[in-house]
Structure formats: structure tokens, C-alpha cells
Amino acid sequence: MIKILKFFIYICIIVIPVVWLSNYPGEVNILWKNYLIETNALGLVAVISILFAVIILFYRIYFYIKNFPRQFVLKKKEKNLALAQNTLSKISLALSKGDLKSIEKNARKIKKQLNEHVFSTFLIAQSAIHAKEYSKAEKYLNILKNNKDVEFLAYKNLAYVSIKQAKDELAVKFLKKAHFLDDKDLWVTEQLSLMLAKLNKWSEAVKVLKFINSTNSPLLFEKKAYFMVESGVKPTQNPDLSLASIPTVLKIIEFYVDNSNEKKALDVISKTWEKFQYLDMILIFFKQESYDVRVALRRFKKIYNTIKNVDTDETRLAIAFSAFEAKLWGKTKNYLQLISKNNIDKRVMSLWDRLSNSSTKIDIPNLPKKVYEDPLWSCSMCNYKIEDWVIKCDRCGSIGSFYWPKSKISPSEINLNKGFFLS
């Protein structure tokens, strides 16, 4: 309705003056040089209108010519942008398929289409990394490290490449640069601490992990505890950190027991048993040089009250061991019988055997024929298994990678963007 009204108004503006001038044409004489131009008012209006239209036409032609180069560039950019969008779609598809050749090919196209070098260069570098063409990757990453916007990513990826090539010193150099740029990145933090530990620079490794706690990264916090002990720090100097790992917990329990401070030792067990469930934490109490059944009985009661509420087979086995050391044959049998058939390993069978040899009054039940192997420390990197914990895996060389299978701490390796983009 409004459009119709506007159209009507425009018609009126044009038609009314024309009609009026037609009814009252009058005369208009224009003398220019020796020329006399005679016309009426309507003709004059017509001439002026034509001149005005010509001026507008020339004005538009002028600006079209003037803006043509800019318009040409814009059209070209629009075309390249459309092509780039298509290329990005191809890259996404190639990423999903792991087609490294296609990724690199289309990355070079992006470079031309958008006149953009950072993204395309990074894509080519990543393709080279995943194709294990490390020299090629280094070439492109060294270009990127001079760009402040992406230098962190460049150094991070250069470190990754150096680690893959076992260039430890060079990896540490790149990791330190990346860590300086972003000391909160967990992958850089972890790898730098591990590389320093590998070079026996334990104190430096601990400093790198200064922001790591049990909340933001339990696994790294555990390794921090390892490095602390290896650096020569006594567990009692940092009790909270000492509670982060089984080896440090063992050390601090042993320290307190040796110094006749059973209360603090039991407090450590109270705080850590549910998480670790490592039998040696309990057996430390019964490794005295001169055996005293009264001491053993007292310690059994304290241990029982400390761990009884953790309802697991490891708890039942620990209580059975403690009861046996206190010569409580009946309690030993009772707790051994409570252990699930799926968890009867050589430790359980050994204790049954010792119990049968210690007391003729105890009837040994029919035990299952299938006996499981004792739990062993296992390397999270190569699955190598050992009886006693060590800081370094002899098979794969990884640092702080051994985990206890009964522990509640996940053995899985920290996954920090080891996919297509290290970021």
C-alpha cells in the first residue's frame, strides 16, 4: 500500500507541472552569441531534463571507469574465496581419510587462492609430520617460528619432530622456547619435564611442573613426585606431594615406621589406600628385625581400623596378611575366603599355604584350580611388566611410565593433541 502511494506521489510530481506548463506554455527567448533560440517553458524544461540526464550518464561512466580496477580485484577475490571454500572442503575430507598427499596438494592451492602463507605452510608441515618426513616438516616449521602469531605452535611441533628423531638436546631447546611462550600447555610441560628427567636433570624437571597439581593433571602430579625424590628431596619435606605416588608413599611410610611414628604412617595409609591399594604399604609394618607378636597384634588392629571401610579384594588380602602376622589364624582364613574367585592370584595361594603350615586346626577349603598371576608394574607406553617399580623403563626408555594395575589412577598416556594438529 505504501509503495502504491509513493508511486502515485511521484507521478503527480511529474505530471502536474507538465500539464500546467502545457496549459500555460508562454515564450522563452535565449540569445547566445548571434544565435536566438525561441521556445516555450515546456521545451526549456525538456532541454534541461535531457542535459541533466546526459550529465548523470557521463558521471556514471566516469565512476565506472575509475572504479573498474578495484571492482576487478574484488571480483577476483570473490572468485578465489569461492574456490578456497571448495578447497577447504576437500582438505576436511582428506583429513577424515588421512590422505596426506591430498592435504598437501590442497594446502598449496589455498596458498595461491587466498595469498595466505601461515595456514597453508602449517598444513604442509603437519602433512609431512604424519608422513614421517621430518626433514621436510622442519623446513616449513622453521619458517613459521619467525611469525609471532604462530611461533608457539612452530616450536611445539619442532619439539615433537625432534622427539620422534631421538634428538633429545634439540627437543629440550625447542620445548623450553615453547614453554616460555605458554607455560600452561600440558603437552609441552609434560614432554619438557620428561626430557629433562631423561637427561637426569631432576630438579629442573620439578621446576617445570610447578603449576601441576592433583586436580589439573593427576598423572603429571604423580611424575612430579617421582622427580622430587630423584632430585634428592626427602618425602617428609613435601608430604602432600609425597602422597601422589606409590613409590613416594612407601618411602614416607617406611620413614615414619623406622622412626617409631606409627600414627603418621597410618595417617598416610588412611589418605592413600583407597587410591593405590598396594600391599607393600601394609607389609612395611611387619618387616621389623626382631619379631614381637604383641607389636604385630597392635599394628594389625590399627591397620584394620584404617582400611576396613575400603571394600575391595585388595583390602581383604591386606587384612588377611596383617592377621597372619599377628597369628590370628581364624581372621586370616575368614578374610581369605571373602576374596573373589576372579582375584585369587599367587599371593592369595601363598598365604593359604603359609596358613595351613602354621595351624593344623584350620581347614583349608577347596581352592579353584585356576590361579591368576600376581599383579605387576606395567609400562603405559610399551606394556613391559616388572615386579618392582623403577623410574625408567628398560624396554622403551620412557620416564615415570610404570603404573600399578590395582591403583585408581588411570594408566592411559596423557593425550594432548597428538592427532593431526599439535595445538
Chain segment 188-236, per-residue pLDDT in tens: 999 999 999 988 999 999 999 988 887 888 888 888 888 988 888 887 8
Residue 326 falls within a domain, yes or no?
no
What pLDDT score was predicted for residue 293? 86
Residues linked to residue 35 through DSSP beta bridges, in sequence order: 32
What pLDDT score was predicted for residue 81? 47
What number is the average pLDDT over the span 13-35? 60
Chain segment 46-90, per-residue pLDDT in tens: 666 666 666 766 666 665 565 556 554 445 555 544 544 555 455
Residue at 365: amino acid letter: P
> How many whole angstroms separate alpha carbon 294 and alpha carbon 369?
36
> How many whole angstroms separate alpha carbon 226 and alpha carbon 196?
13
| Residues in Cβ contact with 161 at an 8 Å cutoff, skipping those fewer than 6 apart | 129, 134, 137, 138, 141
Q: Give yes or no for a contact between 281 and 306, defined as CB atoms under 8 angstroms apart.
A: no
Length of the chain: 423
Residue 393 falls within a domain, yes or no?
no
DSSP letter assigned to residue 308 = T
Grid cell, residue 93, equals: 575430507
* Mean pLDDT comparison of 96-100, 141-145, 332-336, highest-scoring range: 332-336
Residue 230 falls within a domain, yes or no?
no
pLDDT confidence band for 303 (50 / 70 / 90): very high
Alpha helical stretches, state H, 98-150: 100-114, 118-130, 134-144
Q: Give yes or no for a contact between 41 and 21, defined as CB atoms under 8 angstroms apart.
A: yes
> How many whole angstroms separate alpha carbon 283 and alpha carbon 286?
5
What pLDDT score was predicted for residue 321? 96
Closest CA to 400 of 410, 387, 413, 390: 390
What pLDDT score was predicted for residue 83? 46
Residue 26 falls within a domain, yes or no?
yes
Q: Give yes or no for a contact between 380 and 412, defined as CB atoms under 8 angstroms apart.
A: yes
What number is the average pLDDT over the span 125-149? 84
Rounded alpha-carbon distances, angstroms, from residue 14 to 8, 20, 44: 10, 11, 15
Residue 73 falls within a domain, yes or no?
yes
Closest CA to 387 of 372, 404, 371: 404
What pLDDT score was predicted for residue 423? 40
What number is the average pLDDT over the span 41-46? 60
**Domain of 68, in residue numbers:** 18-78
Residue 215 falls within a domain, yes or no?
no
Grid cell, residue 137, equals: 616438516
| Residues in Cβ contact with 343 at an 8 Å cutoff, skipping those fewer than 6 apart | 313, 372
DSSP letter assigned to residue 210 = T
Range with lowest mean pLDDT among 233-247, 307-321, 342-356: 233-247
Is the pLDDT at 380 greater than 70? The verdict is yes
> How many whole angstroms separate alpha carbon 376 and alpha carbon 230?
22
> How many whole angstroms separate alpha carbon 282 and alpha carbon 356?
22
What pLDDT score was predicted for residue 189? 93
What pLDDT score was predicted for residue 226? 87
Q: Give yes or no for a contact between 243 and 278, defined as CB atoms under 8 angstroms apart.
A: no
Q: Is 63 exposed, middle or buried (0-12, 13-18, 19+ CB in 10 A)?
A: exposed
Number of domains, the chain: 1
pLDDT confidence band for 330 (50 / 70 / 90): very high
Q: What is the dihedral of CA 187, 191, 194, 196, to 10 degrees?
A: -130
Q: Give yes or no for a contact between 137 and 129, defined as CB atoms under 8 angstroms apart.
A: yes
Q: What is the dihedral of CA 402, 336, 347, 315, to 10 degrees?
A: 20
Rounded alpha-carbon distances, angstroms, from residue 79 to 76, 86, 259: 5, 11, 80
Average pLDDT in the chain? 79
Range with lowest mean pLDDT among 40-49, 340-349, 404-413: 40-49
* Mean pLDDT comparison of 47-51, 144-148, 153-157, highest-scoring range: 153-157
Closest CA to 269 of 288, 285, 253, 284: 253
What pLDDT score was predicted for residue 116? 57
pLDDT over 70, % of the chain: 68
Residue 299 falls within a domain, yes or no?
no
| Residues in Cβ contact with 349 at an 8 Å cutoff, skipping those fewer than 6 apart | 367, 371
Residue 52 falls within a domain, yes or no?
yes
